[in-house]
């Protein structure tokens, strides 16, 4: 299983970022990134999530638990899902018609109103 230290180094290289660039973007010191990449420290949960969000990967990918490099749902898709969930039934029906998606009655439709 790959480790965070290697995955983080690779992601930085792919995005042409220095340790300093990454540190600034997620709000930590450059030395902290150096420790992560050396494997001598491990990020706290919120920092790990900030790194995942920055590179558009899952925390499972960062920790080597998944080989999927992209999130299943990106930020734009997440916004669209939220808007759909909060839309009135007429708007939802119009969206389904435009996208040629048949309505499927499930418990998740009812549960989403509670979100």
Enumerate domains of the chain plus CATH numbers: 4-62 (1.10.260.40), 75-112 (no CATH)
- Dist CA 91 CA 19 (whole Å): 45
**Which sign does the torsion angle of CA 44, 114, 80, 73 carry?**
positive
Check whether 89 has a pLDDT greater than 60.
Answer: yes
Helix (H, G, I), strand (E, B) or coil at 67: coil
Q: pTM for this structure?
A: 0.61
Distances (CA, A) of 4 to 39, 41, 63, 99: 8, 10, 5, 39
Residue in 103, 69, 66, 58 with CA at minimum distance from that of residue 84: 103
Check whether 30 has a pLDDT greater than 50.
Answer: yes
Share of the chain above pLDDT 70, in %: 84
């Amino acid at each position: 299983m790959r480790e965070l230290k290697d995955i983080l180094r690779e992601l930085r290289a792919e995005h042409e970022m220095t340790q300093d660039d990454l540190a600034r973007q997620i709000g930590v010191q450059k030395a902290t990134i150096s420790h992560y990449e050396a494997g001598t420290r491990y990020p706290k949960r919120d920092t790990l999530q900030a790194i995942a969000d920055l590179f558009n990967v899952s925390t499972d990918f960062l920790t080597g638990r998944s080989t999927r490099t992209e999130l299943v749902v990106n930020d734009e898709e997440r916004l669209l899902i939220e808007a759909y969930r909060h839309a009135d039934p007429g708007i939802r029906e119009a969206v389904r018609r435009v996208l040629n998606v048949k309505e499927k009655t499930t418990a998740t439709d009812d549960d989403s109103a509670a979100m």
